[in-house]
């Protein structure tokens, strides 16, 4: 006997089952069918390694969208064009900035968007643009990565300089300096005894200096006493003497002023003659001395003349010579 089935009932059951499966999938995927989105383009300079399609886009730390596509900029191959999709209610205003950030040390990248100033106009695409463009800025990591090669070069250069500084010769010199410093400190340590002796001597000298100062003070007191007694009289006499000397000098001055021409003539003319006269007098004194010696020796020879022989040119002999 053939079972009689209801085709309408089976068809309804299958449709309901499929609808249930579709609803379950939507629920599982958490798809918000009512949500609205806005698409933006971001142009990054340089690499975006670690960023993939479906990577999350954050706005002030809140996930607000994802990366839809990553391509090279057709106008500038040095740039990377990243297409992101954000929720439409996210206020991406003019002045907003996008940065590429990394999650810890995993190397997974994401896009962080920082909104523009409050009250700014919503970012809209320009005339020929398909999507609005968010300005990109270099992230901290990018700055580090960009400057890393330079830092490495600088570090290598510094290491080379340090190697030069720590050459064997310099190390030897530093070793000598340290050795000298050691000797110096040792000498200083040994010299403390001498310093102690020096301080003791200085103290003794100070004691003597104090005694000398006392003596000088007493001497000054004595001098003051003398000055107060005899000093006044001496000063008075000195003043009188000075007055007399001043009067004499004034007289001489007036005398010289009145006879200036004669004095000048005497100094310029007669003084040299006096000098010459002194020389002549000296010669005369010598002659007189010779004369007196001659007189003492043989007065008759001086008065009547000596027995001097004469040389005869004809006979070629002097008187008294043996012919």
- In the complex, the residues that contact another protein under the rule CB under 8 A are 265, 268-270, 272-273, 276, 279-280, 283, 304-305, 308-314, 316, 318-319
**CA-based nearest residue to 48, from 134, 135, 110:** 110
Residue 189 or 313: which CB sits closer to another protein? 313
**CA-based nearest residue to 42, from 151, 161, 133:** 133
Q: What is the DSSP letter of 323?
A: -
Residue 164 or 310: which CB sits closer to another protein? 310
Q: How far is the CB of 267 from another protein (least distance, A)?
A: 10
Q: How far is the CB of 252 from another protein (least distance, A)?
A: 24
Residue 76 or 298: which CB sits closer to another protein? 298
Residue 78 or 268: which CB sits closer to another protein? 268
Q: How far is the CB of 290 from another protein (least distance, A)?
A: 10
DSSP string, 67-133: EEEEEE-SS-TTEEEEEEEEETTS--BTT-EEEEEE-TTS--EEEEEE---TTPPBP---SS-SSEE
Half-sphere exposure of 280 (CA within 13 A, CB side): 6
Residue 199 or 318: which CB sits closer to another protein? 318
Interatomic CA distance for residues 210 and 214, integer angstroms: 6
């Amino acid at each position: 006997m053939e079972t009689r089935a209801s085709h309408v009932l089976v068809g309804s059951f299958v449709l309901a089952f499929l609808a249930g499966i579709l609803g379950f999938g939507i629920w599982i995927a958490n798809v918000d069918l009512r949500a609205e989105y806005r698409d933006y383009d971001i142009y990054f300079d340089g690499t975006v390694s670690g960023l993939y399609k479906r990577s999350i886009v954050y706005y002030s730390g809140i996930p607000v969208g994802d990366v839809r596509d990553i391509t090279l900029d057709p106008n500038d191959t040095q740039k990377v064009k990243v297409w992101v999709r954000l929720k439409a209610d996210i206020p991406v205003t003019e002045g907003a900035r996008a940065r590429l950030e990394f999650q810890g040390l995993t190397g997974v990248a994401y896009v962080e968007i920082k909104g523009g100033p409050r009250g700014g106009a919503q970012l809209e695409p320009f005339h020929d643009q398909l999507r609005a463009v968010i300005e990109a800025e270099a992230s901290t990591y990018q700055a580090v990565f960009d400057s890393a090669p330079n830092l490495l070069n600088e570090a290598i250069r510094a290491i080379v300089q340090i190697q030069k500084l720590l050459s064997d010769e310099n190390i030897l010199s530093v070793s000598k300096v340290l050795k000298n410093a050691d000797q110096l400190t040792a000498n200083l340590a040994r010299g403390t005894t001498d310093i102690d002796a020096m301080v003791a001597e200085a103290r003794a000298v100070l004691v003597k200096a104090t005694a000398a100062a006392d003596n000088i003070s007493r001497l000054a007191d004595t001098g003051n006493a003398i000055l107060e007694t005899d000093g006044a009289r001496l000063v008075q006499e000195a003043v009188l003497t000075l007055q007399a000397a001043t009067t004499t000098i004034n007289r001489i001055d007036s005398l010289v002023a009145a006879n200036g021409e004669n004095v000048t003539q005497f100094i310029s003319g007669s003084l040299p003659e006096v000098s010459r006269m002194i020389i002549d007098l000296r010669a005369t004194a010598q002659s007189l001395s010779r004369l007196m010696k001659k007189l003492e020796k043989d007065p008759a020879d001086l008065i009547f003349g000596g027995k001097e022989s004469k040389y005869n040119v004809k006979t070629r002999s002097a008187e008294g010579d043996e012919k």
